[in-house]
Structure 1
Amino acid sequence: MLQPAMSDQSLNPPQRPLFWPIRLCKKLYFQVLVAVVIGALLGYYEPMLAQQFKPLGDVFIRAIKVVVTPIIFLTIVVGIATMGDMRRIASVGVKALIYFEIASTLALIIGMVVGNVWPVGHGINANPATLDSSAVSGYVSSAKHMTLVDFLVNIIPTTFVEPFVKGEILPVLFVAVLFGLALCKFGDRVKPLVALLEQAAAGLFGMVGIIMRFAPIGAFGAMAFTIGKFGIGTLINLGELVLAVYIVSILFVVLVLGAALRIAGFSLWKVLAHFKDEILVVFAATSAETMIPRSIEKLENIGVKKEVVGLVMPTGFSFNMDGTAIYMTMSVLFIAHATNIELSITQQLTILFVMLFTSKGAAGVTGGGFIALAATMPAIGVLPIAGLTLLIGVDRFMAEIRAATNLTSNIIATLVVGRWVGGVDYERALKVLDGKPVPDLVSEVGMTEAAVPPGLLPVAVAARV
């Protein structure tokens, strides 16, 4: 007797939705938040023990940075090679630079205005002659090589592989654009090579997905070390400065960048919600560059064209460091107030002008914001370099909001410039940001791997992590 055929429903019975606390625990942002809280508590109660967990944060950052430059290189090369229009490439680049200069200049001006209206540091009455400048001598030495000429010359690497070895984003961008333009000239002859590079990029995105599983561990190690090393006491003593930088950075994102997004047709809150995992990770790890691969992947999944993402996102981490700009202006004025030095309007405008260049050189340098600050202070010869010692104890706390603001500003810049040049699938972007299923690619909110083209499966799997 023949058995009735089993229905598809019996073969694949519908799964009951997980209880909401279980669903929440599976979210990366929740895991990172819990890890940050545990790390902070350990750092407060057991500071010596907490400092021993520093390698966890360092290892996570190193693991991510392994794939940052190759992903940037491949994304740019494939984007330019498949676009095949050099005039459009130039248009995207020029418009991105215009946006970067406007945004970073506004960040500098806002930081300086707030620093004058809210005179953080008054009453400290620090004597520059008694401050020990030996603690910042290393930063000052590095700052001597941060001139505009050095910055421009260092864009061009001495060898093809040097920027990949050193992890320098701007030289990688230079090499990638040249290679992409060269492939454009050969058209169909290089299609197999472009396809191979695209497959290699998919594999690297898969690596990012694997590494991101360990993000909570890295966040725990970084936060435990920060609180254990520098302590809550230091934060309390200079808490007004830290609070001021946090407030100004958050308001800059909400008001200035939110307005730019609104003009482009996007909701700031939906964009922040979509990228909350990446923002939280860089906040804990204090390194915005670690989330470039994940941000590139998500931006492409939203519907921003590959060549726009590839050109705007990496370039932004040299020319659009809004968080660093706010930190630099407010810190300079803090040192002036703390040492009872009055800066004239002319001197402040001179500092502002110098910062337009020194803030660009902060990219890809360990302690870049602090080094850029050291490069700025000798500009007018009034502020003592030793004043930087007042910031050492809390710089790590400000580095967290600096990194988060830098990443957020460049994600928003990519969306805004993408809309400006017509490089965004707007309908798809709205659906993804609304949490609706979209065709072809897997977003974090919805579809199954079965709906994904085989060549894009590694990217799809990584996007779900």
Structure 2
Amino acid sequence: MAVFAQEPGPAVAPPRSQPWYRHLYVQVLIAIAAGVLLGHFFPATGEAMKPLGDAFIKAVKMIIAPVIFLTVVTGIAGMRDLSRVGRVAAKAFAYFLTFSTLALIVGLIVANVVRPGAGLHIDPATLDAGSVAQYSKQAHETTVTGFLLAIIPQTVLSGLSEGNVLQTLFIAILFGVSLASVGARGQRVLAALEELATILFKLVAIVMKAAPIGAFGAMAFTIGAFGIGTLANLAALVATFYFTSLLFVLVVLGSVARLAGFSILKLIFYLKDELLLVLGTSSSESALPSLIEKMERAGCPKSVVGLVVPTGYSFNLDGTNIYMTLAALFIAQATGVELTLGQQLLFLSVAMLSSKGAAGVTGSGFITLAATLSIVPSVPVAGMALILGVDRFMSECRSLTNFIGNAVATVVVSRWERALDRDQFDAALAGRLPSVDQLPPEMVSAE
């Protein structure tokens, strides 16, 4: 990828220093550590903390739909060339398809090399198929056609009221195009929406102040309910999954970042608050509004951020795809099923489709795996009971990898569109931008 020339951006004032305890990532780290200790030493009390994590995630989900709607509408309506919307979408989906498939292949290769399930010799007849029945049922009910039809909401407002990300995105694109098409008559509406977006991003900043409480509650529940000890029996699988995800982020996405002219490590550090929040809550959705705000502040245009981030949350699931191939081959190896290269390629092809059919569904990683195994009968679906106990721990890594993948995709598509403000992006990655709390109200939402 060529390095595109950029117009010099406005001078960015150096951020004022804050006490260490005021930084969100420090507060979340302390909260995660406290949650682990409470869940380990007082499991019952740790489990009782679950409402704290649930309440925070609900509060975030409450604002996801309006954030996406306002970001997409103002971004599209502010563009002069509406053909750019289709161009951005085409580039984004080309990126998603390429790297989602690559993630599946990486998981397949590592599973064959490391063979984490080899030597367990589990008899499938001894497994509790009932423990995964609900996931299998939900997987059968989720099809690619049904998923695509579900993108169209019942009413114009139902996507917003129900918090459905893809329905909200669908309506926002239509509304943004319509607003841009009426020319000067839509300027007053656009100005009002931009003012509303400023207020909404301030609301996001207020909600994020509760992030440490949410991370504490979610982590205390996870350790209290499942216990660190559950990792011991399947340590090889969990370690292999974390290693593979790290390999994908640093090598594959790192190479993409280098070609695009930035450091993946600097981008990760820039998003450290959000990544720690994802780690603490095991949900990448908890950081979606902050990711939109952070990428805009880093110089990515609204029109690109609004299209790439929400669609990426459903179609660019690198961590989930690595998990699917790795978990499927682990189950096959553990139950003594030897898959031929042809069978593995068949599984890969089915997984490419089923991962899109279950996109956006809560617990999509486990549900997508069930859907794929039910279509490829060589591997027993009941074998999923083997990994049910550690799935919660692997979901954290899935979410982190998905999150980083979408951040990289946003930057890359912005570069392809020659729309990345390089000066502002470099300032963001170098830590020279002030925090949201230090910005005046009129600058909270990136323009």
Question: How far, CA to CA, are the matches of 2:283 and 2:354 in structure 1?
Answer: 19
Residue 50 (structure 1) shift:
0.7
1:325 to 317, 321, 326: 321
Which whole-Å deviations, capped at 9, do the CAs of 1:332-359 have from their partners, x for residues lacking one?
Answer: 0010011111111111111101111111
CA contact (8 A) 1:286 1:400 kept: yes
TM-score, normalised to structure 2, is 0.93
1:252 to 244, 248, 255: 248
Residue 221 (structure 1) shift:
0.7
- Aligned match of 1:193: 189
Matched, 1:444 2:413: no
Question: How far, CA to CA, are the matches of 1:162 and 1:128 in structure 2?
Answer: 44
Matched, 1:118 2:114: yes
2:308 to 301, 308, 312: 312
Matched, 1:373 2:369: yes
Question: How far, CA to CA, are the matches of 1:87 and 1:321 in structure 2?
Answer: 27
Give 2:77's aligned amino acid. A
Residue correspondence of structure 1 range 59-458 to structure 2 within 5 A? 59-437=55-433, 443-444=434-435, 449=439, 452=440, 456-458=442-444
- Aligned match of 2:9: none
Structure 2: gaps spanning 5 or more residues: 1-15
Q: Whose relative contact order is higher, 1 or 2, with alpha carbons under 8 Å and at least 6 apart?
A: 2
Give 2:101's aligned amino acid. T
Instruction: Determine helix, strand or coil for the equivalent of 1:359.
Output: helix
- Aligned match of 1:11: none
Which whole-Å deviations, capped at 9, do the CAs of 1:166-218 have from their partners, x for residues lacking one?
Answer: 32211211111111111111011011111111111111111111111111111
Residue 432 (structure 1) shift:
2.1
Instruction: Determine helix, strand or coil for the equivalent of 1:83.
Output: coil
Question: How far, CA to CA, are the matches of 1:343 and 1:195 in structure 2?
Answer: 59
Question: How far, CA to CA, are the matches of 2:445 and 2:174 in structure 1?
Answer: 26
Percent identity (aligned): 49
Residue 154 (structure 1) shift:
1.4
Residue 42 (structure 1) shift:
1.1
Residue 290 (structure 1) shift:
1.7
Question: How far, CA to CA, are the matches of 1:305 and 1:101 in structure 2?
Answer: 22
CA contact (8 A) 1:74 1:201 kept: yes
Residue 444 (structure 1) shift:
2.1
CA contact (8 A) 1:73 1:172 kept: yes
Matched, 1:28 2:24: yes
- Aligned match of 2:13: none
Residue 458 (structure 1) shift:
4.5
Instruction: Determine helix, strand or coil for the equivalent of 2:182.
Output: helix
CA contact (8 A) 1:139 1:370 kept: yes
Give 2:204's aligned amino acid. V
Question: How far, CA to CA, are the matches of 1:33 and 1:362 in structure 2?
Answer: 32
- Aligned match of 2:36: 40
Residue 373 (structure 1) shift:
0.5
Question: How far, CA to CA, are the matches of 1:298 and 1:402 in structure 2?
Answer: 21
CA contact (8 A) 1:321 1:360 kept: no
Give 1:337's aligned amino acid. Q
TM-score, normalised to structure 1, is 0.90
Instruction: Determine helix, strand or coil for the equivalent of 1:419.
Output: helix
Higher Cα radius of gyration:
1
Instruction: Determine helix, strand or coil for the equivalent of 1:436.
Output: coil
Residue 280 (structure 1) shift:
0.8
Question: How far, CA to CA, are the matches of 2:19 and 2:386 in structure 1?
Answer: 44
Instruction: Determine helix, strand or coil for the equivalent of 1:232.
Output: coil
Question: How far, CA to CA, are the matches of 2:335 and 2:388 in structure 1?
Answer: 16
Instruction: Determine helix, strand or coil for the equivalent of 1:314.
Output: helix
Residue 457 (structure 1) shift:
4.3
Give 2:173's aligned amino acid. V
- Aligned match of 1:52: 48
Which whole-Å deviations, capped at 9, do the CAs of 1:138-184 have from their partners, x for residues lacking one?
Answer: 11111012222112211212222222233221121111111111111
CA contact (8 A) 2:65 2:168 kept: yes
CA contact (8 A) 1:84 1:187 kept: no
Aligned pairs, number: 432
Residue 328 (structure 1) shift:
0.7
Question: Cα RMSD (Å) of the superposition?
Answer: 1.7
Question: How far, CA to CA, are the matches of 2:190 and 2:337 in structure 1?
Answer: 58
- Aligned match of 2:4: none
Question: How far, CA to CA, are the matches of 1:148 and 1:354 in structure 2?
Answer: 11
Instruction: Determine helix, strand or coil for the equivalent of 2:19.
Output: helix
Give 1:385's aligned amino acid. V
Question: How far, CA to CA, are the matches of 1:350 and 1:84 in structure 2?
Answer: 45
Which whole-Å deviations, capped at 9, do the CAs of 1:112-139 have from their partners, x for residues lacking one?
Answer: 0001111111122211112111111111
Give 1:104's aligned amino acid. S
Residue 96 (structure 1) shift:
0.7
Give 1:308's aligned amino acid. V
Which whole-Å deviations, capped at 9, do the CAs of 1:261-282 have from their partners, x for residues lacking one?
Answer: 1111111121111100001101
Question: How far, CA to CA, are the matches of 1:283 and 1:163 in structure 2?
Answer: 28
CA contact (8 A) 1:320 1:360 kept: no
Residue 459 (structure 1) shift:
3.6
